[in-house]
Chains A and B, each alone.
Chain A
């Protein structure tokens, strides 16, 4: 929900620049030009040498934390793992896309965090899907072939 709002907010400056470059009058006259930066940079945040307006991507930390939590959450039937993993994946992918649209605006470290969160989410999702598949396989196997199930898990005695 908030991501969509952010994205729509992001698109506005790009669309405006296209309109200006093609030297056409704006279609809707009521549309006023937004300021190029959303927020003034906070004090004391001068990292790197390029650009004072660098801010962190909004969901980078959340994606990383959710991606890490998703790994132990795989064990609860895989359901929580798949939920956290997919959320981390979506948040991370959205932030990576946002960074590529406007690389100067966001800080490099938060971009790396978002990418790591995306990859962690992918791994957790794959693990959870594998585990859910294994549960289904085992339960179906136990119901249809109890003898073979016993032999497989308890070994031949």
Chain B
């Protein structure tokens, strides 16, 4: 458990800086993803969702795509399509919500 926590701490001090935020000063549609993944590592699902709502669907899509490509699930392609479109919609809604609540510049 201690090892787990220290890994999350180490990760939280070694995040990649978003180039859009560094140069233009506002968040991009992917900002919050790394913080969200770290919260998920710590087991804090609510905080993970608050940082970036699309994290769990994205991780699901990545894992499912690997399973589908290696084992050839029968309805895998349509599941990937639906999940992909859903993630795109979640990202768009999240970004519009961030703009409308003035969270883009922090």
Distance, CA A23 to CA B80, complexed state (A) = 48
Q: Which residue of B lies closest to A126 (CB)?
A: B88
Residues of chain A within 8 A of B88, CB atoms compared: 71, 123-124, 127
- Give chain A interface residues in 44-74, CB to chain B under 8 Å: 61, 64-65, 67-68, 71-72, 74
A127 lies within 8 A of B91 (CB): yes
Residues of chain A within 8 A of B77, CB atoms compared: 64, 109, 112-113, 115-116
Is A31 interfacial (CB 8 A cutoff)? no
Residues of chain A within 8 A of B102, CB atoms compared: 153-155
- Give chain B interface residues in 64-106, CB to chain A under 8 Å: 65, 69, 72, 74, 76-78, 80-81, 84-85, 87-88, 91-92, 99, 102, 104-105
Distance, CA A81 to CA B71, complexed state (A) = 27
Question: Closest CB of chain A to B100's CB: distance in Å?
Answer: 10
A120 lies within 8 A of B29 (CB): no
Question: Closest CB of chain B to A74's CB: distance in Å?
Answer: 6
Chain A 101-124 interface mask (CB, 8 Å, partner B; 1/0): 000000001001101100110011
Is A43 interfacial (CB 8 A cutoff)? no
Distance, CA A74 to CA B84, complexed state (A) = 13
Question: Closest CB of chain A to B27's CB: distance in Å?
Answer: 10
Question: Closest CB of chain B to A75's CB: distance in Å?
Answer: 3
| Candidates A61, A75, A124, A155; contact of B30 at CB < 8 Å | A75
Q: A115-B77, A123-B84, A131-B28 are in contact. Are A68 and B19 (CB under 8 A)?
A: no
| Candidates A64, A67, A127, A135; contact of B20 at CB < 8 Å | A135
Question: Closest CB of chain A to B24's CB: distance in Å?
Answer: 6
Q: Which residue of A lies closest to B87 (CB)?
A: A71
A72 lies within 8 A of B20 (CB): no
Residues of chain A within 8 A of B87, CB atoms compared: 71
17 contacts between A and B (CB under 8 A): A64-B65, A65-B69, A68-B80, A71-B84, A74-B30, A75-B20, A75-B31, A109-B72, A113-B77, A119-B81, A119-B84, A119-B85, A120-B84, A127-B29, A130-B92, A139-B24, A154-B105
**Which 3 pairs show the lowest CB-CB distances between chains A and B?**
A75-B30, A112-B77, A116-B77
